[in-house]
Amino acid sequence: MSDPNAERRLATILMADVVEYSRLMEENEVSVLHSLQEHQFALINPTIGQHHGRIVKLMGDGILVEFQSVVEAVECAIAIQLGMISRNEGIPEDRQIKFRIGMNLGDVLIDGDDIFGDGINIAARLQALAEPNGIMISSNVHSLIEGTIDQGFSDAGAHQLKNISKVVRAYQYNPSASVTSQKTAFRPFIDLPVDQQPLATGGCLCGKVRYQVTAKTLGSMLCHCRMCQRYSGAPMLEGSTFPTDAFKLTKGSLKVYKSSDIAKRSFCGDCGSPILYQGVLGYWTNWIVVSTGSFDEPEKFPPTYHLGIESQLPWVKLVDDLPKTTCRDSPSLVDAYKSVGQDVP
C-alpha cells in the first residue's frame, strides 16, 4: 500500500543512456569522457534548459530528466538526438557517441530533489527498447503530442516490460532517416534571447585587463560551490564556457591562483576582478570559463544550468526552471579529482 502522506506529482520523464558505453570506455576512457563533457556543455544542458526540464540526476552513462510539459519534453528529446547526429558527422562509426531515449508520463514520488515510481521505471524500460539515435515513448505521451509533433513516430506495438505488470503500448522515432531535411531547423548551440555577436569583449573593474572572445559560448553556469562563493564574494558565480583558443587578452596581464589540484583561477592583480577559471588536467584544458560579469554585455550570456547546488545558500531562492546538479554528480569533476587521487569536495 502506498504512503498516503507521500508527496506526488505528474511528470514527463526522459531517460537516456549511451549506446555501447562499456565498449567505448574500454577502448578509450579519456576520449569518451572528454566527448561526453563536450556534448553536455554544448548540447544537452542548454537544450534541456531551453525546454524547461530539470536534470534529476546523472547515472554514469545515463541521465534522468523531468518536465512539466509533455510537448516540450518530446521536442527536447528530438533536439538532442538531431544534435547528436549533427555532432557525430565525420567521426568514425565505432567511435560515435549515440543515445537511446525512453519517455513516459506518470505519477512520481518526491524525495527531496529525487523522484521515484513506476512512471520512471517504464521510461527506463522504453529507453532500452529504443534504437541508437532513437526515441521510444509510451502511448500516454503519444496521445498528448498527437496532431502537434507526432509526425515521425510510428506504432511499435504493445510490450510486456520487465517488472511492469501492465502491457505498455509504445511509439518509436528514429531521426536518422530524415535528419537531412530536419537538420536545417536545428541549432546545436544555445538559443539566446538576443542575437549574440561573434566577437565578445570584456575586462576588469579598473580597466587594466581587457580581452576578447571569438566563438559562441558552450553554456553558462551559475556555480554555488563554496570555492566559487569565496572567490567571488557572492552567493554564486556565473561563468560562460568557451574553447580555450577562442579567448585572447588584448590588454594587460592576469594573476593566477591554483585553487585546487585540478584548476586555476585568473584575476586582475590591481582590482582583483575574477576573469577566468580553467582546468589544468588533460581534456579540461580545452575549455576556459570566463566570469560572465566581466563581459561588456553580460546580458547576452544568460545562465543555462546550475552547478554545486549542494552549497546553495538557504536564503537564495531559485525561481527558474534551469537544470540543477551537484558537483559530485558532474562526471567531468569526478573524473578530474579521481585523476589526482581525490574525491570531489
- Domains in the chain: ranges and CATH: 8-185 (3.30.70.1230), 200-339 (3.90.1590.10)
Give the Cα separation of 259 and 274 in Å (integer). 13
Q: What is the pLDDT of residue 151?
A: 67
Q: What pLDDT shows up at residue 6?
A: 67
Please check whether residue 128 is in contact with residue 28, taking contact to mean a CB–CB distance below 8 angstroms.
no
Asked if residue 130 lies in contact with residue 100, where contact means CB atoms within 8 angstroms, the answer is: yes
pLDDT in single tens digits along all 345 residues of the chain = 455 566 888 899 999 999 998 888 888 888 888 888 888 888 888 888 888 888 888 877 789 999 999 999 999 999 999 999 988 988 998 889 999 999 999 888 888 888 888 889 999 999 999 999 999 999 889 988 877 776 678 888 877 787 777 778 889 998 765 443 343 333 333 333 334 444 789 999 999 999 999 887 877 889 999 999 999 999 999 999 888 989 999 999 999 999 999 999 999 999 999 999 999 987 778 889 999 999 999 988 888 788 899 999 999 998 877 778 888 887 778 878 888 899 888
In this structure, are residues 185 and 174 in contact, taking their beta carbons and an 8 Å threshold?
Answer: no
- Tell which phi-psi region holds residue 229, choosing left (phi > 0), alpha (psi between -120 and 50) or beta: alpha
Q: Where are the beta strands (DSSP E) in the chain?
A: 8-18, 54-59, 62-67, 99-111, 114-116, 135-138, 154-160, 167-173, 200-203, 210-213, 219-223, 237-243, 247-251, 255-257, 263-267, 274-279, 287-291, 305-307, 324-325
Q: For residues 174 and 84, is the Cβ–Cβ distance under 8 A?
A: no
Residues in the chain: 345
What pLDDT is stored for residue 104 in this prediction?
A: 94
Q: Which residues contact 263 (CB under 8 A, 6 or more apart)?
A: 277, 278, 279, 280, 284, 336
